[in-house]
Amino acid sequence: IQELLARMTDFIERESGIPSRFEEYVASGKNKYEIEHIWANHFERHLDEFGHEADFQEFRNRIGGLLILPKSFNASYSDKPYQEKLKHYFGQNLLAKSLHKDCYEHNPGFLRFIKESGLSFKPHAEFRKNDLEERSKLYQDIAEKLWSPSRLDEEARS
């Protein structure tokens, strides 16, 4: 899953005019990246949306609830509520940063990419069950663009 998230993150960054960091995202060693769950593993914070912990866990592990972040960040913030993590996501890669409203201001490359791609990026002031579902759909749409036969053919020709 980490390589999938790395490839998707790299794709939206390159399409937004940011140099590729794919090798960094998949490298091992001291400065490696890890999968970050947007929701901390605290079922009790989601009792208003889930009646059973198993349902919460299944949702928490869906692709739209995941990011790749440096191991040091993940260790420091992974247990915090979303509202506390959100401001720190803004300082990370573009897929994480896109959760924050400020990502949509003064970011011409990313805004151009959104307009040209038609992808439904949007900020999330909170991250509830519906937000995770929307984000999963966004990830699916990113994957369809990234691995579309026409785009792959075009890339092979260049």
Distance, CA of 119 to CA of 84 (rounded, Å): 26
- Percentage with pLDDT > 70 across the chain: 95
Task: Tell me: pLDDT of 3 over 70.
Answer: yes
* Average pLDDT for 122-149: 95
pLDDT at position 152 is 64
CA–CA dist 87, 145 (Å, integer):
28
pLDDT of residue 11: 97
Query: What pLDDT is recorded for position 151?
Result: 65
- At 40 the pLDDT is 94
The band of 85, judged by pLDDT with boundaries at 50, 70 and 90, is very high
Angle between helices 129-146 and 2-15 (to 10 degrees): 70
Mean pLDDT of the chain: 93
Q: Say yes or no to pLDDT of 92 above 90.
A: yes
Residues 91-102 have a mean pLDDT of: 97
- Using an 8 Å Cβ cutoff, are 146 and 113 in contact? no
